[in-house]
Amino acid sequence: MRTTFFHAATLLVAGFVAATTGTVLAQAPAAPAKTEEKAPAKTLTVGDQAPTLDIEHYLKGEPLKGFEAGKVTVVEFWATWCGPCKQSMPHISELQERYKDYGVRVVSISDEKLEKVKPFVESPEWSQKMRYTVATDPDRSVYAAYMTAAGQSGIPTAFVVGKKGTIEWIGHPMELDTVLDEVVHDKWDAAKAKSKFESARALETEMRKASAKLREAQVAGKWDEVITILDGLLEKSPGNEMILLQKMQICLTNADRPKDGYAIARTLMGTYEKNAMGLNQLAWTIVDPRLPIKDRDVKLATEIAEKANKVAGGKDGAILDTLARCYFTAGDKAKAIETQKKAVELAPEGMKEELQEALKEYEAAK
């Protein structure tokens, strides 16, 4: 899998690692600043009443008049320029279809102008991928009420509005599966979700404070100091998966501390026991050819990728792509080609071309 996402509280560290290791992170940048954005009346967190959706233009689906009691609404923010948003669209469509009979409705909102969004949404490719309500709100009033108020700056970001009209969860739409399942079946622990969200927001504040020191240490090539700073963040957020992943990348690349890096990899492997995409991201980090890793533990990466593939039931093209890269890096070109062909077959249209390029690479090497 050639891309991954990092969300709100990890953006600063993720961006730092991108600059220092050369890896490409798929988290989209914040929407362009606009001088007339309205300030939110108050902050927004899990447990608060969801703000009214004062949307200017609906492009697909019926306008949402309000949050109905007993119904669940996913309010998602996206943009036509946002790569990770586009990658999330087929998955969001699947969730809309899966939970439609439970009264779930997805409303996806861009803050771009109508003439920019309308042709995108009406194009054959994206019309088919966006099988849910789509809108645009150029005055950014809804963005201010949700994103700015909640302290969110990266897209895509989703807000789950529960059956009583309150915010149940805030996060990346690719993480919605378990959330929606528990919310619709009245098994969701909103208090726990609030604690987790607010801890993440507090961690983001700490990361902003640490970002300058991280940059200074990076410019000076003081990689042990970089790791010390990351360890300080981990003290404030023990077991934080994204920070651990960043530390692992630094240990495997610039810091040249493979023993420490792979110890973290094994820890995360246990953490992601049943999380196919988490395992996939971990395996890809180890075999990503763009990362300057001197000592690649391809055996470990393969073990992790095979586990991810098993959890996914062998039906995820991105995971099979990672597994194929593991086989290729290990020297098993025939198995890499066989696996990559399956990856191309199962990949969504937006990913096929990139995966086909990898297949050509493997076939040429053979």
Q: Is 30 helix (H, G, I), strand (E, B) or coil?
A: coil
The pLDDT, as a whole number, for residue 240 is 85
pLDDT greater at residue 212 or residue 186:
186
**Cβ count within 10 A of residue 299:** 11
Does the pLDDT at position 117 exceed 90?
yes
Average confidence (pLDDT) over 335-360: 91
Class of domain 257-366: mainly alpha
Range in 197-211, 269-283, 314-328 with the lowest mean pLDDT: 197-211
Query: Nearest 5°: phi and psi at 188?
Result: -75, 135
Taking the C-alpha atoms of residue 152 and residue 169, their distance in angstroms, rounded to an integer, is 13
Q: State which H helix or E strand residue 105 sits in.
A: strand 104-110
Apex 27 CA angle, 64 and 157, nearest 5 = 20
pLDDT value at 307 more than 90: yes
3-state DSSP assignment of residue 49: strand
Q: Show the tokens assigned to 77.
A: 């923010």
- CA neighbours closer than 13 Å in the CB half-sphere of residue 221: 1
Query: Are 243 and 8 contacting, i.e. CB atoms less than 8 angstroms apart?
Result: no
Residue 1: what pLDDT?
Answer: 55
Question: In CATH, which of 3.40.30.10, 1.10.10.10, 3.90.10.10, 3.30.230.10 is domain 31-188?
Answer: 3.40.30.10
pTM > 0.75? no
CA atoms of 359 and 349, how far apart (whole Å): 16
Average pLDDT of the chain is 87
Predicted pLDDT at 41: 52
Pairing between strand 104-110 and 167-171? unpaired
pLDDT of res. 191: 93
All structural domains of the chain with their residue ranges: 31-188, 257-366
The set of residues, in sequence order, having a beta carbon less than 8 Å from that of 242 and lying 6+ positions away, is 6, 7, 9, 10, 13, 14
Q: What percent of the chain has pLDDT over 70?
A: 89
Helical segments of 101-189, H only? 114-122, 124-129, 141-143, 176-184
CA dihedral sign, ordered 272, 276, 278, 281: positive
